[in-house]
Structure 1
Amino acid sequence: MKDFKVDTYDEAIDVIKEIGFLPLAKLIPNYPSLDSITPKEHWYTGSEFDPWMWRAKFPGDGAAAYGKFVKKKSVLISIELLPLVRDILGSSLSIKDRFRDGLMSREAVELYTLISENEGIDTRVLKVEAGMKDKEKKKPFDHALLELQGSMDIVVSGTKAKTNEAGEKNGWSSTSFETMNFWAKNHRVDESSIEKEDAKMMLRDHFAAICSPEAMKAFNKIFGF
């Protein structure tokens, strides 16, 4: 795989379009991540060249789906590859059926319902609405969000700044979420579905054309090629 050097947001979008799958941090051996292809000195500066700021722009612009979809790690997936990844990692069963069959936690169902009723909901608001603001609820809340991202049911839609009563920024921004169906429809992602094994074959062929054997081994574990 060629070496990528990225300085601007538009250059990062070009890389995502080219390789289709870009982790935020190191995840796949001999494979790029956003932090490995961008200058370290640009991170957390709050400037237009800060890749940490871009992570919220990608899903907002529809340039890539963003979330902790793989191994509980944040990754960016291109619009072109997203349908294949959803067919592999997602489920053909409804939320209700998965809960009935013991495949989904009660907390995940509750959070999904709240997100679907308030697309783009701020994490802070979601905690309050779910009655999970207390410290002892942090773990099940975080686990439920990871569960929903890992099953491709929700996607990060951006970030929202914390403000005071005067409307001034006050504290860290928080993540906001949408259901994957809502996000995909808004950004004109192909919503047709194919058989999981066919999706695996197509995704395997894509990565085989650009990856080293070591990287392919890692992708095989993730997607079950």
Structure 2
Amino acid sequence: MEEQGIVTTYEEMAKVVDRLGILPLAQLIPGHPSVNGLTKAENWHTGSELDPWSWRARFPGEGLAGYGKFIRKKAVLVSRDWFPAFVRAVGSSMELEERYKNGLTSREAVVLLQIIRSNEGIETRELRSLAQMKAKEQKTAFDNALNELQGTADIMISGVKARLNADGEVNGWNSTSFETTSHWLQENDLHRFEGSREEASGWLHKAMDNAWATEAKAWISKVLSI
């Protein structure tokens, strides 16, 4: 299913994402394509229009796909048509604060989510600062909390922002920015999936039937418990 260099442009990749519904950035799902596997290695990190690394920010920015470390802490694109059902299937029916009271999530995750809710699209450096987690020894807890929130589809990567110095000049690598999935859905005229988690899982399975290999469906069903 995976042929190196078969996809060259962002528009071609958008069609692949739309057809498959879920597409990881790197190889992750057995018997299933990835952005890395479908594109030419020489186009990565070139900064050109053909650079697949830059596409990851365009998809959520243009409302074509949700993007985040949704599966096993790995970056994945989920098409806009699949995203409401995906969020319902992998997310929790309880608010994060309730999960925390029940010992099901970390304090750091609660702190970060509350900040992101109040600052949709916040970039990583500012988020660490507002969370008072700038110390080097706090980085692991910070990263774990971000991965936790993406794994339960509470938040997603909304894009990347250029780091600027005090004079407003670009300084250093671009920084990842985050927003809540509910905000992205609203901003892109998408509605929450109204059914139960089981119904959302059933919706996804039906959508996979025509485009996914049996091996891939079995793997994701087990990993996501859907």
Tell me which interval the TM-score lies in, with the shorter structure as reference length.
over 0.9
Give the Cα–Cα distance (whole angstroms) in 2 for the partners of residues 107 and 172 of structure 1: 25
Counterpart position of 2:39: 38
Offset, 1:166: 2.6
Asked if 1:143 corresponds to 2:147, the answer is no
Tell me if structure 1 keeps the 8 A contact 2:85–2:193: no
Tell me if structure 1 keeps the 8 A contact 2:71–2:224: no
Give the Cα–Cα distance (whole angstroms) in 2 for the partners of residues 17 and 144 of structure 1: 29
- Give structure 2 stretches of 5+ with no counterpart: none
Stretches (4+) displaced over 6 A: none
Offset, 1:196: 1.4
Counterpart position of 2:165: 164
TM-score scaled to structure 1, two decimals?
0.95
Q: Secondary structure at the match of 2:75?
A: strand
Give the Cα–Cα distance (whole angstroms) in 1 for the partners of residues 116 and 28 of structure 2: 28
| 1:208-223 equivalent positions in 2, closer than 5 A | 208-223=209-224
TM-score scaled to structure 2, two decimals?
0.95
Pick which of 109-118 and 167-176 moved more.
167-176
| 1:5-44 equivalent positions in 2, closer than 5 A | 5-44=6-45
Tell me if structure 1 keeps the 8 A contact 2:21–2:81: yes
| 1:1-225 equivalent positions in 2, closer than 5 A | 5-225=6-226
Give the Cα–Cα distance (whole angstroms) in 2 for the partners of residues 9 and 171 of structure 1: 25
Tell me if structure 2 keeps the 8 A contact 1:69–1:151: yes
Tell me if structure 2 keeps the 8 A contact 1:154–1:179: yes
Q: Secondary structure at the match of 1:131?
A: coil
Give the Cα–Cα distance (whole angstroms) in 2 for the partners of residues 10 and 48 of structure 1: 11
Task: Using the aligned pairs only, state the percent identity.
Answer: 46
Offset, 1:43: 0.1
Pick which of 189-198 and 149-158 moved more.
189-198
For 1:137-188, what per-residue CA distance to the aligned partner results, in whole angstroms no more than 9, with x for missing partners? 0010000000100010001111011122232211100100011111110011
Offset, 1:10: 1.1
Task: Count residues in correspondence.
Answer: 225
Tell me if structure 2 keeps the 8 A contact 1:111–1:130: yes
Offset, 1:73: 0.4
Give the Cα–Cα distance (whole angstroms) in 2 for the partners of residues 129 and 190 of structure 1: 30
Give the counterpart letter for 2:104 in structure 1: L
Give the Cα–Cα distance (whole angstroms) in 1 for the partners of residues 117 and 158 of structure 2: 13
RMSD of Structure 2 on Structure 1 (CA): 1.4
Q: Secondary structure at the match of 2:70?
A: strand
